[in-house]
Structure 1
Amino acid sequence: MEFPADWDQRHRVVLNLDFHYGAGEGPKLGNLPLLENWNVNFLAQYGTGMPYTPQTLTGSNLVPLTNSKRYPEIFNVDMRMRRFFNLTSGVRAGLIFEVQNLFNRLNPIGPDEGGIVDAYRDLIGFSNAGTSRTRNYGGFANAAPNPAAWQNGRIIRVGFTTEF
């Protein structure tokens, strides 16, 4: 019997937008160029859901079909801003501002406990539809969603660099 491979993602779109603003360039507030001498980069990614094999928690002897279900789609945007300042001849300092997961979207990256991928879907449920709705079915480990199954939330970083 044929089934989708673990890496079978039907559609994936990646868009990289890069803006370089020189002296006096970029969007302005009145006469003030806000992004003068800045480099602004956006990396957007969209992908359809990857396949996974569901598991039931009902004690059924039926074996689910391999990779018969798909994770929800993923969408992510990262932003990076850099500005350099000339200090002396051949030496410059830089300011870096980076935001990963700009829109703080909850994207699945792996199965939750026992292959349950929708435990966080409505941020209330603890199991797939059709399985036990009892909070402590199988003990606490089955009731608590696995945070490793989800992409990190928004991460903001600020840094400095020196080039010579």
Structure 2
Amino acid sequence: MSGSAVGLNWRYLFSKRGYMLTTASFTGNGWKSWLGNDENHSLDGDEVFERELHLKSELTYQLSDAIELKGGIFGKSINSDHYTWFGPDTTHFGFIFPANTISFYPSITFKAGGFLQTTIRPSNRFSLVAGLRSEYFDFTDEFKISPRIGLNYFLTDKLILTTSYGYYYQTPSTYQAALDPANTNMLSSRAIHNIAGLEYLFSPDTKMSIELYQKDLDFTFIESDTTRKITNEGSGYSRGIEFYIQQKMSQKLVGSLAYTYSISKRKDGDNLPLYDFEFDQRHNFTLAAGYKLTNNWRIGLKFQYATGMPYTPATGTALKNDCWYVVEGGKNSARYPDVHKLDIRVDRTFHFNNWTLTAFFDLWNVYNQDNVLYYSFDVDDSGNITRDASYDFSLLPIIGISAQF
């Protein structure tokens, strides 16, 4: 697996009331994988290379003390090569996949669009943000317009009411399209966000917020259990409540605490039942803190705890044509174990005339917790089921550097 990324920002202050920010970046990713047996190590595999060039320019102008205008344009070119091959296979659940080879080398596609946004502050207690975002995706030949609006109202000097509403679209990836030629007919999925909350300012450095949200989803991507085709027949919702408290850098300490309770449901067709989405994580708790030891040294930690996500269990076996297969239970009717881990980070900053260099050392999963990612099931010749667990990163050290000019 390989990857690269490079970017450049240019900020131009054209008046006391306005500025322009332009960003250009390139990302490239690629991987090769082979899967087989002792006789043939490449029964299944893929070779994927993706290259994206991004260009974005935004202009912000303070029309008056009460009105701010913002607008921008963006474009992205996408160049992808996908070569995938599958050997004939019958899964442990009895699904049959014939051998197939897919070469997916689309011409360079692009995504382009723009946005307009205005912020109106008729008084010190009230602000309204309204905007429109439009984008065109060449690969699916779609043009989408996304209205968005938000409102903030100071109930008191320290208590703020916040609300927002908006449309958000997710375009299909070229990797999804490469799984089957029919997947080139996919469309973008849509989410309609409704959010309301309260924010309390303890001090300029410390705030607490609580939010209720509802996200209605349609045209979501549904992958067939028996083929590699993906359609837009899915729908569902996510709803929940989020509590967040933040202490910005004050003296030497910075920190945050977040807790979310959420429910996420999906269904694979209009007449099909709802089920727990595979990323339906009901309880999620995160505690992060950082301490500035000196002007050049910082230390930080992050602790995460979350309840397990759902999976489809194996409830038995069935004998078909002298072969044993796994019998599935209800879709996503079981839960993985809860997960938790502690990460620690140390930063050392070096200051030069016109730039700074930061070296950091990360230590993930300090106490080496075994967090289950997924289970796989197998059946032996006697019809006995075995369950194997795959785990997230164990204790993992990371060293890196970053530069700021």
User: What range is the shorter-chain TM-score in?
Assistant: 0.5 to 0.7
Whether 2:279 is the aligned partner of 1:7: answer yes
User: TM-score of the superposition, structure 2-length normalised?
Assistant: 0.27
Aligned to 1:119: none
User: TM-score of the superposition, structure 1-length normalised?
Assistant: 0.61
Higher relative contact order (CA closer than 8 Å, sequence separation 6+): 1
1: CA distance between counterparts of 2:387 and 2:309? 23
2: CA distance between counterparts of 1:17 and 1:102? 15
Q: How does 1:38-49 map to 2 (within 5 A)?
A: 38-49=297-308
Aligned to 2:350: 85
- Greater fraction of residues in strand: 2
CA 1:5–1:94 in structure 2 vs 1: closer, same or farther (change >3 Å)?
closer
Whether 2:329 is the aligned partner of 1:64: answer yes
Deviations 1:44-84 (A, max 9, x none): 11001111110146337865122221100000122211011
Runs of 4+ in 1 over 6 A off after TM superposition: none
From the CA coordinates, give the structure whose radius of gyration is larger.
2
Tell me the SS of whatever aligns to 1:81.
strand
Aligned to 1:100: 364
Aligned to 2:314: 55
Structure 2 residue aligned with 1:113, among 357, 376, 379? Answer: 376
CA 1:89–1:50 in structure 2 vs 1: closer, same or farther (change >3 Å)?
same
Q: How does 1:120-159 map to 2 (within 5 A)?
A: 137-138=380-381, 145=388, 149-159=390-400
Any unmatched runs of 5+ in structure 1?
A: 24-36, 115-126
Q: Which amino acid letter does the alignment assign opposite residue 343 of structure 2?
A: D
Offset of 1:106 from its aligned partner? 0.8
Contact conserved, 2:312 with 2:328, CA < 8 A, in 1?
A: no
1: CA distance between counterparts of 2:347 and 2:363? 12
Aligned residue pairs total 125
CA 1:104–1:89 in structure 2 vs 1: closer, same or farther (change >3 Å)?
same
Percent identical pairs in the alignment equals 26
